[in-house]
Homo-oligomer: A and B are copies of this chain.
Amino acid sequence: MSSTDASRAAGSDWRREKRERTRRLLQQHAMRLFLEKGFEATTVEEIAAAAGVSHMTFFRYFPTKEDAALEDDYDPMIADLIAERPADEPAIDKIRHALTHGLNQLYDSERDVLLARMRLVYRTPALRAGTGSRRDADQRLLIEALAPTADGSRAGLHLRVVVAAALAATTEAIRYWAESNGADDLRHLINEAFDALRAELTHEAPVDESAD
């Protein structure tokens, strides 16, 4: 059993480095071509050729063309930050603070590339659709970070709703940011989005549960 979980991640340094370099190369050329000629107009063959590999190698690294535009490694970082939050903090605030703190670490170095990517995503229908499937994975990750006992798929409705709403607020902030071409600070927009949600729901209103 020399090819277990560990070996695929490690795999003797030599291979691991090569793997990571090839992957990075593919993703960089993919993003460059997407931004130059658009997502649909770029074929997988072109990306592979630009990175000096065959199209089969591309699919060995990215299951779909969309993944080359959408994949990043922010989510585990957010999950870690959530786990570090005080245990008595409400879930929605854990998420909010993990997001803003995480963004602080990235904003200076990665703001521009993140903005370019998001602008591409929101101008490309195929990519906008792709974010839908990713949201599932994000949601499960956050749920596990918030409630390590219950596994993600069987979490209670309450927790699922809270995480889904938090992700929705974040998505809207990011989309707004991308549409206004990065005019505002994304961290500020995220805080605004969470505030909007709280404001809307603390205007206590008559909730008639016996809807006939």
Contacts and interface: CB of A to CB of B under 8 A. Distances in A.
Interface of A: 89-93, 96-97, 100-101, 104, 125, 128-133, 135-136, 157-158, 160-162, 164-165, 167-169, 171-173, 175-176, 187, 189, 191-209, 211-212
Copies in the complex: 2
B157 A161 contact: no
Contact of A172 (B96, B129, B164, B198): B164
Contact of A193 (B92, B157, B208): B157
16 contacts: A97-B211, A101-B212, A132-B132, A132-B135, A157-B173, A157-B176, A157-B189, A158-B192, A158-B200, A161-B172, A161-B197, A162-B200, A165-B169, A165-B197, A195-B207, A197-B201
Contacts of A204: 202
Nearest to A90: B205
Nearest to A208: B97
Contacts of A206: 93
Contact of A100 (B162, B173, B201, B211): B211
Given A160-B176, A172-B157, A211 B187 contact: yes
